[in-house]
Structure 1
Amino acid sequence: MAEPDILVNFDLAPAVNAFGASSSINGIRGGRWKDRFRAKKRLQNKRGKPSFLDADGNQKSTNAQSYPPLNSDVLAGPDHARGSTSRPKAGNEHAGAPRLSYDQPVISSIFSSNPVSVAKVEKTGTENAGPAIPTNAPLKDGSAFSTMGLAPALASHLVNNMNISAPTSIQQIAIPQLISSDSDAFIQAETGSGKTLTYLLPLVHRIYTATLSGDKLHRDSGCFAIILAPTRELGRQIYTVLMQLLSHPSLHWLVPILILGGEKKKSEKARIRKGGNILVATPGRLADHLSNTTSLDVGSVKWLVLDEGDRLMELGFEETLEQILTALNERAQKGSGKISLANLGLPDRRITVLCSATMKASVQRLGDMSLKDALYLKGNQKSDATEESSKSFQTPAQLKQAYIVSPAKLRLVTLASILRRAFIRNKEHMKVIVFFSCADSVDFHYQAFRKTEDKEQNDTRPETSSDEEEKAETEVAEGQKEKPRRPSLAAKSSAPLIDPAVSLFKLHGSLAQHIRTSTLNEFFHEKDGAVLFCTDVASRGLDLPNVDLVVQYDPPYSQEDYIHRIGRTARAGRDGRALLFLLPGCEESYPNQVLKEQHLTRRLADEVLKKGFGAAPLPKVAKAVDPSWKKDFMPKTSGAKWEQEAVEFHLDVERRVLASDEFSNIAKRAFQSHIRAYATHVAAEREIFDIKQLHLGHIAKSFGLRERPGDIKLPARGKSGTASSASGKRKLDNIDTNGDNTQEDQDEEGLRRAAQMMRKKMREHMNVASEFNIG
Structure 2
Amino acid sequence: MAEPDILVNFDLAPAGNAFGASSSINGIRGGRWKDRFRAKKRLQNKRGKSSFIDADGNQKSTNSRSHSNAKSDAPAASDHDSVLVNRSKAGNEHGGPPRSNYDQPIISSIFSSNPAPVTKADKTENANAAPAAPTNAPLKDGSAFSTMGLAPTLASHLVNNMNISAPTSIQQVAVPQLISSDSDAFIQAETGSGKTLTYLLPLVHRIYTATTNGDKLHRDSGCFAIILAPTRELGRQIYTVLMQLLSHPSLHWLVPILILGGEKKKSEKARIRKGGNILVATPGRLADHLSNTTSLDVGFVKWLVLDEGDRLMELGFEETLQQILTALNERAQKGSSKGSLANLGLPDRRITVLCSATMKASVQKLGDMSLKDALYLKSNQKSDTADDGPKSFQAPAQLKQAYIVAPAKLRLVTLASILRRAFVRKKEHMKVIVFFSCADSVDFHYETFSKVEEKEQSDTSSDSSSEDEEAETEVEKEEENKKKPKRPNLAAKSTAPLIDPAVSLFKLHGSLAQHIRTTTLNDFFHEKDGAVLFCTDVASRGLDLPNVDLVVQYDPPYSQEDYIHRIGRTARAGRDGRALLFLLPGCEEGYPSQVLGEQHLTRRLADEVLKKGFGNAPLPGAAKAVDPSWKKDFMPKTSGAKWEQEAIEFHLDVERRVLASGEFSNLAKRAFQSHIRAYATHVAAEREVFDIKQLHLGHIAKSFGLRERPGDIKVPARGKSGTVSSTSDNSRKASGKRKLDSTNINEDGAQETQDEEELRKAAQMMRKKMREHMNIASEFNIG
TM-score, with normalisation over the residues of structure 2? 0.78
> How far did residue 129 of structure 1 move?
2.0
Partner residue, 1:168: 168
Partner residue, 2:607: 606
> How far did residue 715 of structure 1 move?
2.0
Judge conservation of contact 1:439–1:774 (CA < 8 Å) in 2.
no
Change (3 A) 1:344 1:721: closer
> How far did residue 559 of structure 1 move?
0.8
SS in 2 for 1:614: helix
SS in 1 for 2:552: strand
SS in 2 for 1:504: strand
Partner residue, 2:706: 705
SS in 1 for 2:340: coil
Partner residue, 1:508: 509
> How far did residue 635 of structure 1 move?
2.6
How is 1:560-571 mapped onto 2 (pairs within 5 angstroms)?
560-571=561-572
> How far did residue 724 of structure 1 move?
3.8
Alpha-carbon separation, structure 1, partners of 2:425 and 2:623 = 25
Whether 2:690 is the aligned partner of 1:682: answer no
SS in 1 for 2:186: strand
Judge conservation of contact 1:116–1:584 (CA < 8 Å) in 2.
yes
SS in 2 for 1:167: coil
Unaligned runs of 5+ in 1: 1-41, 54-70, 89-102, 455-463, 475-482, 730-753
Partner residue, 2:94: none
How is 1:573-652 mapped onto 2 (pairs within 5 angstroms)?
573-621=574-622, 627=628, 634-637=635-638, 639-652=640-653
> How far did residue 598 of structure 1 move?
4.6
> How far did residue 470 of structure 1 move?
6.2
Change (3 A) 1:722 1:326: closer
Judge conservation of contact 1:78–1:708 (CA < 8 Å) in 2.
yes
Alpha-carbon separation, structure 2, partners of 1:52 and 1:582 = 37
SS in 1 for 2:446: helix
Alpha-carbon separation, structure 2, partners of 1:727 and 1:444 = 22
Listed one character per residue, the Cα deviations across residues 298-318 of structure 1 (whole Å, up to 9, x for unaligned) are 000000000000000000000
Change (3 A) 1:114 1:140: same
Unaligned runs of 5+ in 2: 1-47, 49-61, 87-102, 455-472, 733-763
Partner residue, 2:332: 332
Partner residue, 1:25: none
SS in 2 for 1:158: helix
Listed one character per residue, the Cα deviations across residues 1-21 of structure 1 (whole Å, up to 9, x for unaligned) are xxxxxxxxxxxxxxxxxxxxx
Change (3 A) 1:473 1:437: closer
Whether 2:775 is the aligned partner of 1:774: answer no
User: Which stretch shifts more, 414-423 or 715-724?
Assistant: 715-724
Listed one character per residue, the Cα deviations across residues 370-402 of structure 1 (whole Å, up to 9, x for unaligned) are 0000011000089xxxx9976733200000000
Judge conservation of contact 1:124–1:599 (CA < 8 Å) in 2.
no
Letter in 2 for 1:513: Q
Alpha-carbon separation, structure 2, partners of 1:760 and 1:309 = 31
Alpha-carbon separation, structure 2, partners of 1:358 and 1:565 = 13
Change (3 A) 1:472 1:579: closer
Judge conservation of contact 1:52–1:87 (CA < 8 Å) in 2.
no
Whether 2:371 is the aligned partner of 1:363: answer no
Alpha-carbon separation, structure 2, partners of 1:222 and 1:568 = 35
Alpha-carbon separation, structure 2, partners of 1:138 and 1:713 = 54
Partner residue, 1:27: none
Taking only the aligned residue pairs, the percentage that are identical comes to: 85
Judge conservation of contact 1:714–1:723 (CA < 8 Å) in 2.
no
Judge conservation of contact 1:308–1:355 (CA < 8 Å) in 2.
yes
Change (3 A) 1:376 1:391: farther
Alpha-carbon separation, structure 1, partners of 2:340 and 2:587 = 64
> How far did residue 104 of structure 1 move?
8.4
Letter in 2 for 1:773: N
Alpha-carbon separation, structure 2, partners of 1:633 and 1:388 = 55
Listed one character per residue, the Cα deviations across residues 29-53 of structure 1 (whole Å, up to 9, x for unaligned) are xxxxxxxxxxxxx9x9749657989
Letter in 2 for 1:771: E
Partner residue, 1:375: 375
Highest Rg: 1 or 2? Answer: 2
Judge conservation of contact 2:718–2:724 (CA < 8 Å) in 1.
no
Listed one character per residue, the Cα deviations across residues 397-445 of structure 1 (whole Å, up to 9, x for unaligned) are 0000000000000000000000000000211101000000000000000
> How far did residue 341 of structure 1 move?
2.5
SS in 2 for 1:602: strand
> How far did residue 718 of structure 1 move?
2.3
Alpha-carbon separation, structure 2, partners of 1:270 and 1:209 = 29
Alpha-carbon separation, structure 2, partners of 1:221 and 1:760 = 44
> How far did residue 634 of structure 1 move?
2.6
Listed one character per residue, the Cα deviations across residues 701-743 of structure 1 (whole Å, up to 9, x for unaligned) are 00000111111112222297865449959xxxxxxxxxxxxxx
> How far did residue 338 of structure 1 move?
2.6
Judge conservation of contact 1:106–1:655 (CA < 8 Å) in 2.
no
Alpha-carbon separation, structure 1, partners of 2:377 and 2:522 = 32
How is 1:125-524 mapped onto 2 (pairs within 5 angstroms)?
128-380=128-380, 392-452=392-452, 467-468=476-477, 486-524=487-525
Change (3 A) 1:723 1:250: closer
How is 1:734-753 mapped onto 2 (pairs within 5 angstroms)?
none
SS in 2 for 1:560: helix
Change (3 A) 1:200 1:769: farther
Judge conservation of contact 1:225–1:279 (CA < 8 Å) in 2.
yes
Listed one character per residue, the Cα deviations across residues 164-214 of structure 1 (whole Å, up to 9, x for unaligned) are 000000000000000000000000001000000000000000000001113
TM-score, with normalisation over the residues of structure 1? 0.79
Judge conservation of contact 2:435–2:535 (CA < 8 Å) in 1.
yes
Alpha-carbon separation, structure 2, partners of 1:634 and 1:85 = 12
> How far did residue 636 of structure 1 move?
4.9
Partner residue, 2:465: none
Alpha-carbon separation, structure 2, partners of 1:629 and 1:414 = 23
SS in 2 for 1:528: coil
Judge conservation of contact 2:226–2:305 (CA < 8 Å) in 1.
yes
Listed one character per residue, the Cα deviations across residues 307-330 of structure 1 (whole Å, up to 9, x for unaligned) are 000000000000000000000000
Alpha-carbon separation, structure 2, partners of 1:358 and 1:539 = 14
Letter in 1 for 2:782: I
Per residue, is there more helix in 1 or in 2? 2
Judge conservation of contact 1:359–1:392 (CA < 8 Å) in 2.
no
Judge conservation of contact 1:126–1:599 (CA < 8 Å) in 2.
no
Judge conservation of contact 2:434–2:532 (CA < 8 Å) in 1.
yes
Alpha-carbon separation, structure 1, partners of 2:402 and 2:508 = 24
SS in 1 for 2:534: strand
Alpha-carbon separation, structure 2, partners of 1:369 and 1:274 = 32
Change (3 A) 1:398 1:413: same
How is 1:4-19 mapped onto 2 (pairs within 5 angstroms)?
none
Judge conservation of contact 1:124–1:600 (CA < 8 Å) in 2.
no
Judge conservation of contact 1:105–1:629 (CA < 8 Å) in 2.
no
Change (3 A) 1:366 1:631: same
Judge conservation of contact 2:438–2:780 (CA < 8 Å) in 1.
yes
SS in 1 for 2:213: coil
Letter in 2 for 1:378: K
Alpha-carbon separation, structure 1, partners of 2:315 and 2:80 = 39
Change (3 A) 1:642 1:335: same
> How far did residue 87 of structure 1 move?
11
SS in 1 for 2:571: coil
Change (3 A) 1:307 1:637: farther
> How far did residue 472 of structure 1 move?
8.2
> How far did residue 677 of structure 1 move?
0.2
How many residue pairs get aligned? The number is 653
Change (3 A) 1:312 1:760: farther
